[in-house]
Amino acid sequence: MGEVTADGHRPIVIAVDGGGSKTDAVALDLDGSVVASARGTTSSPHIIGMGEAARLIDDLIAEILRQTGGAPIAQANIYLSGLDLPAEVAAFRAAIAGYAWADAIVDNDLFALLRAGTDEPDAVAVVCGTGINCVGVRSDGAVVRYPSLGMISGDWGGGWHLGEQALWHAARAVDGRGQETTLAFAIPAVFGLDSIQAVIEALHFGSLPNSDLARISPAVFDAARAGDAVAGSLVDRQADEIVAFAATTLRRLELLGRRVPVVLGGGVIGARDERLLAGIERELARRAPLAHIELVTAAPILGAGLLALEGAAAGQSALDSARSSLASRRSALTLR
């Protein structure tokens, strides 16, 4: 239990998890109880820039401190999508240099997902939400991570990419260049428009932001469940790409010969589509037979909170209490 300060406050830890659609922040006391929370929009530097991401998080922390009456911060851990390269972590640290919480632990949000799913020292995590990314850790400190910059860094998948590919197929179906697909009707319905041409023009002229392609993803899974061959092929490819990340990371860490958890999370995975999950299980069993899946449906703020408490040297009872409190905060079944 943290010591009470002269003004009656107990120290807190602050945990922040930020993705492509929202940012969660919580404060916990050193017993593991949640004492404050706040939520904002995306804080991914890839989307809004380093300076704006820093300002958004500062606003959330200010709200946390308002709710706690200015309790002293024993530890702060911040995990953001878009901090994929060492240069990006360094740039974000430069952007937060003037803030009171500038000594926070800062890293990619995959580490929060990983901790939410397991405390094993050898583990892999794959997130598939708005985008897709992977990280792997080994007990001797070795880490495998990826740039996660989309097609230019070899990535395929996530809600945005599924939406883009679905629209590509639908456009070709409509103009006769491609295979027929019910996505030609499902996609306009997502946006309340009457045709694929209207969707294309809305994206081209900017009345629909490019980021809204991610909104198509649930329609892809619906179409696949209804038997659409094009949509089904996209779901199957997504399963293959998730397993490619996991199996490759296990191989690079030389962990294929050991029983290792593969933590899966993010909105696309968390929606629990049967075809997607069955494809992941089948392909993972073929490529990494000893790996076992840990599906995380709790929001990654759970992992961020556990890491913050561990950084403050909180005991096991505090970690158990935090897990009980934060596990009920479900990961959004839309997109990361």
- Indicate whether 281 and 168 sit together in one domain: yes
What was the pLDDT predicted at 1? Answer: 39
Q: How many domains does the chain have?
A: 2
Mark whether 62 and 158 lie in a shared domain.
no
The secondary structure element, H or E, covering residue 12 is strand 12-18
CB atoms < 10 A from the CB of 207, how many?
Answer: 12
In this predicted structure, what is the pLDDT of residue 329? 72
Q: Please indicate, yes or no, whether residues 262 and 279 belong to a single structural domain of this protein.
A: yes
Residue 137 and residue 244 in one domain: yes
- For residues 37-60, average pLDDT: 95
- At position 255, the amino acid (one-letter code) is L
Binned at pLDDT 50, 70 and 90, residue 334 comes out as: very low
Residues 131 and 264 in one domain: yes
Is the pLDDT at 9 greater than 90, yes or no? no
* Short-list 9, 2, 15, 11, CA closest to 104: 15
The SS3 of residue 35 is: strand
Domain, as residue range, for 309? 12-109+300-326
In this prediction, residue 274 carries a pLDDT of: 97
**Quick one: 103 and 151 in the same domain?**
no
Do the Cβ atoms of 2 and 24 come closer than 8 Å? no
The pLDDT tens digits for 184-207 are: 999 999 999 999 999 999 999 999
Same domain for 204 and 57: no
* Same-domain status, 272 and 141: yes
**pLDDT of 66-111, one tens digit each?**
999 999 999 999 999 999 999 999 999 999 999 999 999 999 999 9
Q: What is the pLDDT of residue 20?
A: 76
Q: Are residues 241 and 308 in the same domain?
A: no
Same domain, 147 and 244: yes
Q: Looking at the chain, list the stretches that DSSP marks H as alpha helix, in order from N- to C-terminal side.
A: 45-48, 50-68, 86-95, 110-117, 159-175, 183-191, 196-205, 217-225, 229-252, 267-270, 274-287, 301-311, 316-326
Counting beta carbons within 10 angstroms of the beta carbon of residue 152, is it exposed (0 to 12), middle (13 to 18) or buried (19 or more)?
exposed
Q: What is the mean pLDDT of the chain?
A: 94
The helix, strand and coil proportions of the chain, stated in percent and rounded to the nearest 5, come to: 50, 20, 35
pLDDT exceeds cutoff 60 at 2: no
pLDDT value at residue 19: 83
| pTM, full prediction | 0.90
In a domain, 336, yes or no: no
CATH of the domain at 54: 3.30.420.40
Residue 6 lies in a domain: no
Question: How far is 25 from 266, CA to CA, in rounded Å?
Answer: 17
